[in-house]
A and B are shown apart, each in its own frame.
Chain A
Amino acid sequence: MLECMLKRTPLFEAHRKLGARLIDFGGWEMPVQYTGIVDEHLAVRNAAGIFDISHMGEITVSGPAAAEFLNGVLTNDIRKLADGEGQYTLMCNERGGVIDDLYAYRLSGEVFLLIVNASRVAADVAWLQDSLGRFARASDVSMTDASHNYAAVAVQGPRVREFIDKCFPEASTSGTRVARVTDLKKNQIGGFPYQGGSVLISRTGYTGEDGFEIVGRDDAICSVWEQLLAEGASFGLKPCGLGARDTLRTEMSYPLYGHELDENTTPIEAGLGFFVSLDKGEFTGRAVLATQKASGVTRRCIAFKMTGKSAPPRPHYPIRVKGERVGEVVSGTQSPSLNIGIGLGYVSAECAKAGTAMEIEIRGTACPAVIVQKPIYRKG
């Protein structure tokens, strides 16, 4: 019964044909893996992988006051974006707690696209609408939740640049103007003609590898998926599920909403101060974030590695330093690249320094670990 209520992406049948194992992820029936998490993870690190990310939300914000509105609700400075550029940013409540973390793109002067977490689309739209209701120039802003209009894939890995251009033979016609997809620089986005329509392609991702994210109408994305799988096969491209997506982002120490981020956690506590522009003027949450940046926080998000053989760390396992409980794990797994247990956790700020020895309590056993610099994995 429950299964009937889960949303499916336009790639659902493609996943089933590939023998994917499907799970409920934030109300979506999504592939967690095809051949295996480790196999898919290593394909992305060493060659290429393709992910269905159609569950993610797309919100368009446009109009003469769109930039001013967004700069009042997002933490990063949207004025830094030229046409065809994107930035990682966060949306906070008045307490500085994170409503969502997202990518904001300036498609053209007054037109912005926000790519948000699947599980947060409704909360984001409600928050944005409420904020817009209090915005002085609201009549100069138009906002649309276009999530149901779009599907998306991410194609990631060091060999993607060797085959992606074959799928998109024409130059971009909007956003960043380039002759080929591989001419896009990191965080640039362009609209590329595709089968009579067009798709948006950005040089972004959530894996730490070079790669692209492609957003478009359902039928275009289904076709992109098939074409990329065909063109990429000889380069080692594999379809990858949410399992590998999670291990890849954990190795890079990228936050995942609901783990590292929630409405009671600020970007400063999460170690994302780089994406908080305190000097751009007023924005929601600024007062709290400015205070935290100036006088410090009580807890911090840290990355750690297990130092001995142990079971993999998991969310909610207690973290101790010299026997005293100082925090808990929020993300943890066995790193397929490093072959050791790794994770992210929140600990008291005074013990958050890299190099600090700690213990993760795993089923009653204190297992040694050490705080490391982010990212946990670096290309060797």
Chain B
Amino acid sequence: MSANIPADLKYAKSHEWVRVEGDIATVGITDHAQHELTDVVFVELPATGRQVKAGEACAVVESVKTASDIYSPVSGEVVEVNRAVVENPALVNTEPYQGGWFYKVRLADSNELSRLLGPEQYAAQIGG
């Protein structure tokens, strides 16, 4: 059950991933997280324009059995949310790093990125 951990992403200990392009960060949850959550049936995303802080609960993902908070790995303004994943929550399970992304933020402080885990560190965390 080795999880897919793309080399070009940053990771939070709480199992979110971040893809950085310029000053925009895309946030989602990892393959390991979707596997642990199992069948995702509902996703609640922050409103566009909301200011989120790193470590703040800002989304909810629900499986058949439980609701789980998603914590923003970075601070900034939410500039776009993935309506497709709200319509079709199963994308979190099938394409956690592609169609299953959650939201994009305009980074308030790019120094925060250095506090996130690299792929090897994240692999070590979930492997341990």
Contact = CB atoms under 8 A, between A and B. Distances in A.
A36 interface: yes
Contact of A37 (B42, B60, B64, B67): B64
B70 to A, nearest CB: 13
Contacts of B42: 310-312, 334
A243 B65 CA distance: 7
Contact of B64 (A38, A310, A363): A38
A286 interface: no
A39 to B, nearest CB: 8
Contacts of B41: 312, 334
Interface residues of A, number: 17
B62 interface: yes
Interface string A37-80: 11100000000000000000000000000000000000000000
A334 B39 CA distance: 10
A311 B64 contact: no
Given A33-B38, A37-B38, A37-B39, A311 B65 contact: no
Given A311-B44, A311-B67, A314-B67, A334 B38 contact: no
B1 to A, nearest CB: 8
Contacts of A36: 38-39
A37 B63 CA distance: 9
Main secondary structure of the interface of A (DSSP, over half): mixed
Contacts of B44: 311, 363
B38 A311 contact: no
Contacts of B60: 311, 363
Nearest to A33: B38
A164 interface: no
A336 interface: yes
A104 interface: no
A2 to B, nearest CB: 19
A93 interface: no
Interface string A235-250: 0000000010011000
Given A311-B44, A311-B60, A333 B38 contact: no
Contacts of A32: 65
Interface of A: 32-33, 36-39, 243, 246-247, 310-312, 314, 333-334, 336, 363
Closest 6 CB pairs of A and B: A334-B41, A37-B64, A311-B42, A38-B39, A334-B64, A36-B38
